[in-house]
Amino acid sequence: MESKILNHKNIYYPPGGILIWIIIFLELITFGIALIVMVFYGQKELEIFHTSRLQLNTTIGTINTLFLITSGYFMARSVSYLRKGQKEKSSLFLKLTMLGGLFFLGLKTIEYYFKIEAGLTVGHNTFFTFYWMLTLFHVIHVIVGLVILTSVLVGLRKNPSKVAIEDVEASAAFWHMCDLIWLLLFPVIYLLF
């Protein structure tokens, strides 16, 4: 039965199931609309957005981008190894995926600390209102993703024969959504203005 699922190419049964893809599209639409609104306000307050953006640490944003892209690669490898029945390698790459997510959160926490210390909080100006709302909403998604990946890892450790490939694919799709959202946020917030 597993080989039928793995070879199934019907668009109505995408990897991880249709429900996760509905969630992903809704999340992408939500972030997309928020970014469009941010750009709209940025055009109205160009000087404020430009000087505010210069107060961000582009190096930290770039490193965090690399952490998420790398963790996304590791997640893809984890799914690939699980499909091949190599559960130990799948677990290893799942741990590496989670490590990338934890590094992202750690670096984001440091960035947030410096912003708060400088008084650049959510009410500082319009740019930082968008910065905090969008990046914190993304951080929540990364935390949820890590919780989901932890449950998959626990399942692989406790009873690997009962871990369904669909569940791992759904968690991978959610994790890749976090990557994609960051790839939309990073250029608009850190580079555009």
pLDDT tier at 19 (50, 70, 90 boundaries)?
Answer: confident
The CATH number for 41's domain is 1.20.120.80
Mean pLDDT along residues 182-188: 95
Amino acid (1-letter code) at residue 62: T
pLDDT tier at 133 (50, 70, 90 boundaries)?
Answer: very high
**Domain residue limits at 165:** 2-192
Q: Higher-confidence residue: 157 or 112?
A: 112
Task: Supply the pTM of this predicted model.
Answer: 0.86
Full DSSP string of 124-182: S-HHHHHHHHHHHHHHHHHHHHHHHHHHHHHHHHH-GGG--HHHHHHHHHHHHHHHHHH
Which pLDDT score, from 0 to 100, does residue 128 have? Answer: 97
The residue whose two tokens read 């917030």 is 189
Residue 21 CA to residue 27 CA, distance in Å, equals 10
- Tally of domains within the chain: 1
Q: Is a pLDDT exceeding 80 seen at residue 8?
A: no
- Mean confidence (pLDDT) of the chain: 89
Q: Higher-confidence residue: 133 or 87?
A: 133
The residue whose two tokens read 């993703």 is 145
Mean pLDDT along residues 174-181: 94
